[in-house]
Structure 1
Amino acid sequence: MSKKEETDKNANIQTLAKYALESDEVPKIYANGFAQFFNNADVGIILQLNGKPNAVINMSYTLAKTLHDRLGKQIKDLEKDSGHDIMTTEFVDRIKSKRNDE
């Protein structure tokens, strides 16, 4: 991808994000947990808020893989730039469990 194509792509993403965040027509959902499921054609994510389902997202395996790759890169870049690893929920659960065992 040329520098101009990358610049254009980033501008389009910024325009899309601005519209989505400012539009009353686009739902805004916060989640602090999730569960995932899949079948032979799709992947699903049940977003949760304080342990209760609050949204379901369905997507193709292709989109799920692309989302995985892009989010993974963004998080790795953030961790590298900040010098800090972001904790996973599993890690926090292990720490809490150790504390509760004391």
Structure 2
Amino acid sequence: MEKIEFSTIDEIITDILLLLSPEYQEKIKEMSIDDFSDIVHFNFGQWIKNKYFYQNPVQEQLIKSLDGLEKNYMFLDGDKFSQIILEKVYEKITTEKK
């Protein structure tokens, strides 16, 4: 059964990294954050906001776990949330040893 409750950013990032092939992660390492965001925003970003934000029964707990990341925005919606996640996924992939 697929997990539907994600109460922290780390849980979400771990779940996403399990979905991305090692080959695709290597491609991401060669992209800038802007290129990565432009490429994945409309498809992968949409999926992220639907699965981890809108359909998450523990959304309130998840928002509390953002630890100030949401303060960069006047209000937090699914698009901004998916951007935070995409940036964290990119950071995690590109800072791991090559």
User: TM-score range with shorter-chain normalisation?
Assistant: under 0.3
Higher relative contact order (CA 8 A, sep 6+): 2
Greater helix share, 1 or 2? Answer: 2
Q: When the two structures are superposed, what TM-score results if normalisation uses the length of structure 2?
A: 0.28
Q: When the two structures are superposed, what TM-score results if normalisation uses the length of structure 1?
A: 0.27
Which has the higher Rg, Structure 1 or Structure 2?
1
